[in-house]
Amino acid sequence: MNVLFGSPALHALVLGVGIVSALLGVTSYFIWFERKFAGRMQSRIGPKHVGPYGLLQPIADAFKLLIKADITPDTADRALFNLAPLLAVCVALLSLAVLPLASGLVIADLDVGVLFFLAAGALTVVPTWMAGWGSNNKYALLGGMRAIAQSVAYGVPLVLAALVPVILSGSMKLSDIVAAQAGGHWFALWPPGPGLGAGVLFVLASLAEGNRIPFDIPEAESELVSGISTEYTGMKFGMFYLGEYVHSLVVAALFVTLFLGGYDGPGPDVLALQLLWFVLKVSLVSVLLLWVRWSYVRLRSDQLMTLCWKYLLPSGLLLVAASAVWVWWTEQGGSR
C-alpha cells in the first residue's frame, strides 16, 4: 500500500483525522451555501446578518445547538435514542476511509473499496431505525419504517450501479478505478451508455438510500412532522443534520470517483492539482444535487417503490449486462 507516513496505522490516523476535520468544516459551509442557494432559488437572500454575507452563520448555528436544552422523552428507549445520532455521523463518515482524494492520498486503499462503501451505506439504516424506534413517537417510527423500506429497495440498484465501474475497470479498488479512467476516459463519458446510465442510477439510488429530496419521505415534514428527528433537540438533532450533509457530500465524492475520473484532470500529476480537480468536481456535483433538491417535489411512498422495482432495478441489470458485453467486446479486439 502506498503510505505517506511511517507505518500504515500512523498514515491512516493522520489522514483520517485530517480528512474528517476538513470535511466537517466543509460541511458547515456547505450548509451555509445551500441556504444561500435555496434563498436565491426562492427569490430570497438567505442568511446575511451574522458576519459579512452571513458567513459566520454556521458557527452561530452550531453554538445555538450546543446551548439548547437536551431533552430525552420519558418513554424513549434511552440507549437507542442517545446512541443513534452518534452512530449516524460515524456511519456517514465511514465511506471516507476508501476515498482517494489524490494519488496516494487515501486513508486505506482497500482491495474491496467499492464493497466497503456499499457495506457502509447499508449500515445507515441501523441508526435511522434506532432513532425511529427509540423515540417512541409514532411519527418517528413511521419515518423509520419508511427509511428501512426505502433502504432495502434502493440498496439493490445502488449495488448494480456501482458494479458497472467495477466491471469496466476490472477492480474493486477505488484507486484502480480512478487509474482506469486516467487521461479523460471517464466512465460517465465512455463507453457511451452504460457509464452515464449507471452514474445517473447511482446518484438516484444513493439519494434515496440517504433519504434526500426527492426521496425524503422518511421525514416528509408535511406528513410526519419531522420523521425520525421529531423528538430530537440540541446537538443530537444537529448530529443527524450533520450526518445527512456528510452523506450527501460523500455521495458526490463517490460519484466523482466512480464515474468522473476522480482526481483525474488536465495538467501535471502533482498532488495539489489533483486535489484541486477533485474538490472542483465534487463541488460541481454537489451544486447539481442541490439544484435537484430545491427544484423537484417529493415522491409518494408507492411511487418511490414503483420507480425502484419497476424501472431502476431492470435498467440496472441491463446496464451491468451492457458493460459486461462492452468489456468482452473490447477484449475481443474491438477499438477503445
Partner 1 sequence: MSALEILGLSLLALFVLAGALGTVLSKNLVHSVLWLALALVATAGIYVRLTAGFLAGAQVLLYAGGVITLAIFAVMLSARIEGGPIPNESAKRGRGALVALAVAGLFGGVLLQADVLAPRDLPVVDAADIGRSFLGEYVLPFEVLSVLLVAAMIGAIVIARREDP
Which amino acid is located at 261 in the chain?
Answer: G
Q: Is 227 in the site for partner 1 (CB under 8 A)?
A: no
CA 61 vs CA 33, 66, 105, 277: distances in Å: 14, 9, 32, 30
Q: How far is CA 87 from CA 118, 241, 284, 300, in A?
A: 17, 13, 28, 28
Backbone angles phi, psi at 105, to 5 degrees: -90, 75
Q: What's the chain's length in residues? A: 336
Among 9, 17, 22, 284, binds partner 1 (CB under 8 A): 9
Q: Which CB atom, from 75 or from 295, has the smaller least distance to partner 1?
A: 75
120's grid cell: 457502509
Minimum CB–partner distance for residue 92 and partner 1 (Å): 15
Q: Is 50 an interacting residue with respect to partner 1 (CB under 8 A)?
A: no
Query: Applying CB under 8 A, does 97 fall inside the site for partner 1?
Result: no
Residues in contact with 289: Cβ distance below 8 Å, sequence separation at least 6, in sequence order: 203, 207, 212, 248, 251, 252
If one asks whether residue 118 binds partner 1 (CB under 8 A), the answer comes out as yes
Q: For residue 8, say if its preceding peptide bond is cis, omega within 30 degrees of 0.
A: no
Quick one: which of 17, 66, 71, 152 contacts partner 1 (CB under 8 A)?
152
Asked whether position 80 contacts partner 1 by CB under 8 A, the answer is yes
> Counting contacts by CB under 8 A, is residue 79 touching partner 1?
yes
| Min CB(219)–partner 1 separation in Å | 17
Residue carrying C-alpha cell 487509474? 179
Size of the site for partner 1 (CB under 8 A): 32
Give the angle subtended at the CA of 274 by the CAs of 27 and 12, to the nearest 5°. Answer: 65
Among 15, 130, 180, 198, binds partner 1 (CB under 8 A): 130
Among 20, 41, 148, 189, binds partner 1 (CB under 8 A): 148
* Contacting residues toward partner 1, per CB under 8 A: 9, 75, 77, 79-80, 110-112, 115-116, 118-123, 125-126, 129-130, 133, 136, 138, 141, 145, 148-149, 151-152, 155, 159, 172
